[in-house]
Chain A
Amino acid sequence: MTVWTIARVTLGEAIRRKVLLVFLLVALALLLFSVIFAIFTPREEITMIISFGMGVITFASAAIAVFGTAGLIPIEIEKRTIYTILAKPVQRYQFVLGKFIGAALTILINLVAMAVVFYLVVVLKSMRPHFQIFYGLLMIYFQMVLLSAVTMTLSVFTTQIITITGALFVYIIGNISEYVQSLIQITQTPFVRILLRGLHLIVPNFSNFNVVNSVVHPENYPMDLMMLKYASTTVGWGAIYVVALMLLAVLLFQWREI
């Protein structure tokens, strides 16, 4: 119950924050204008609109996940409001979990707002349903929850600026993990191969959730059993990663002197 109360308060605060609102409004404007951008390219318009829209939503959601989560704990410490919270019968782990769930809900609400506009633009433009978009959006959401967990873990022991920088760095590294995989294949030195392999397996591989290609070109990626296995394994992997990160965040916060 305490966790849920903190989550609700966090969500309410996030909705009132102007920075996040700006990200959302810019994204919504870009989604509406994607119809105009599409005419600048020679390809089928709807392909461009879907691709561009998915890109905008990923970008905006990543910004909301990082900026929305990074300040949740450091600001409470900075403003000393954390003392009044922890003075009540609230455990530190409940505080961290409540903040994280609040961040996840914030991302969800923003993503739903963008998804509604995006889907309307696509359907009105093509006059037919595009169900694969929902699969893409769901994967974006799980990706952002993981990014939020990374940000939360960093935020419990560093400042807000370092958290934002660190989270964005991890996000970029995690998105080019496929390149690390290619490097493993071409590297000759066994030690470097082991090192890269370890890096690929341990660093949060955000590109696991990148299914934009299958959303844009459904003719090449049927939603069959294999795709379902892939999606469920990825979500399962993400869930375990989030649990591990939250455990780490709770432990670090427990250890931190306030």
Chain B
Amino acid sequence: MQKRQIGLAYLLTILLIIPIALMQCSVDRFRGKVGLLGTSGKLLESNSALPSNMIGAALAGFREPVAGLLWVKADDYFHQGKFAEMVPLMKVITLIDPHMIDVYSTGAWHLDYNFVDKNEHSDRRLIPNAIQFLEEGVKNNPRVFDLYFELGFTHYMMKARDASHAIYWFKRADGKKTTDDQPTPRYVYHSLAHAYEMNGQIDECLKTWQRCIDYSTAEVNRLRKSGEIPSNITKNTTLSNEATLAMWDLQVSKSNYDRVLTRKLLRADLPSNRTNVNLEFTIKRIKPGVLLVSGVANVPDNTKVDVLLRDADWQERAKRSFTWRIDNQTIFLDSAMVRSGKFQAKVDVTDDSFYPMKDSQYELSAEINPRLEPEESQDKLGWSGEGLNDSHYLDTSTPGLRKARKVVMLPLSAIK
């Protein structure tokens, strides 16, 4: 090579740094857009106290095996009852492999249900954390239905008992595939119909059941044509899983449609024939931190009365403690059953780790919410309280809902 050529080669080498740097910026941008950017950095930032060999193995490309091994460890903690150790470990697992769906769903379920006081009351302060964890999972796995459904069913519908949010998440699960590329399972639509019913949106509920009937009817007809479902089904007929599922789906959808429609007709005259619930209760302090709430209500047997004790300024405290720090908040919830017009609930807030009692004033309430009641109670009170009245404690603060709710403010000295 001549001197001039060498000089040019040096110049070219230096100039190539410019496209390299510019293209690296583009790669970073595209990597972010396809969702491949971020987890390695977060893992190193997390101060997770993970053994360095595990961090090294995860960064070297063995992410899923490391996440799998940590998941075994988390399961070990569960069987030892070490729930507090388990939660941060699950957070680390999701940093290593953000697509481990089981970890999000199980982790959130632990937060919701497994942190219980000595009387088996779950720690409701952790519900926002469980939801936050699952929302993070949804963000990392937007194309699969699982975590949308988990949020809607296990958390909003079953735990937080918030049907309107459950509907939102079920709708978002609609059309999303399973991890093995199968269409959205039918139970998602069944749950959506149940959530509509729970939220008092009966016409939407019936429409959803009708959609399920139409879909499964088409499925059954298709399977009949292909011969998978024979024209004569006897006790000895063996059906494929697909055929069994389609027939089951059709049967469940039809019976639910009929049930809701029948009840809609039966409950049609409830607004003109309201029951005065006459909710009332008294409070007796048995010992420091333990209150006995005894009351009456003119409702059918097995109607639930939610007895709730929480800080007077709980909304402010909830805002402040929306992170893992929850030692600022007190919330106790128990459901008492009405028997022969009477109910009784024991409010036990003696466990300081669950009920820190940092406020000077507390709100104690008893509530009959028709949307959360069994069907027999709803037959008298309506889905949304159409048949409910209360001379003193009628609460219509939630649009479209009539419930009975009595609230008493208590100073700390009256409880502790």
Contacts and interface: CB of A to CB of B under 8 A. Distances in A.
A37 B27 contact: no
Nearest to B41: A182
B179 A237 contact: no
Given A202-B17, A202-B20, A220-B144, 9 more contacts: A37-B65, A43-B67, A43-B102, A51-B65, A179-B40, A201-B21, A212-B63, A240-B19, A240-B20
B231 to A, nearest CB: 33
Contact of A51 (B19, B63, B141, B142): B63
A206 to B, nearest CB: 11
Interface of A: 37, 40-44, 47-48, 50-52, 54-55, 58-59, 91-93, 175-176, 178-179, 181-183, 186, 200-202, 205, 207-208, 210-214, 216-217, 219-222, 226-227, 229-230, 233-234, 236-237, 240-241, 243-244, 247-248, 250-251, 254
24 contacts: A40-B68, A40-B69, A41-B71, A42-B75, A43-B64, A43-B67, A43-B71, A48-B65, A175-B59, A179-B40, A181-B37, A200-B24, A202-B21, A205-B27, A208-B27, A213-B99, A219-B144, A220-B144, A230-B31, A236-B23, A237-B23, A240-B23, A251-B9, A251-B13
A52 to B, nearest CB: 5
Contacts of A250: 9
A244 B102 CA distance: 45
A54 B62 CA distance: 8
Nearest to B33: A226
Interface of B: 1, 6, 9-10, 12-13, 16-17, 19-21, 23-28, 30-31, 33-42, 44-45, 59-65, 67-69, 71-72, 75, 97, 99-100, 102, 140-144, 177, 179-181
Contacts of A254: 1, 6
Contacts of B10: 251
A217 B143 CA distance: 11
B35 A221 contact: yes
Taking each of A52, A178, A201, which has the highest tally of chain B beta carbons within 10 Å of its own beta carbon?
Answer: A178
A175 B60 contact: yes
Given A205-B27, A220-B35, A227-B34, A51 B64 contact: yes
A182 B44 CA distance: 9
A14 B19 CA distance: 33
B36 A213 contact: yes
Contact of A208 (B31, B59, B72): B31
Contacts of A211: 36
B46 to A, nearest CB: 11
A220 B99 contact: yes
Contact of B179 (A52, A91, A219, A221): A219
Contacts of A183: 41
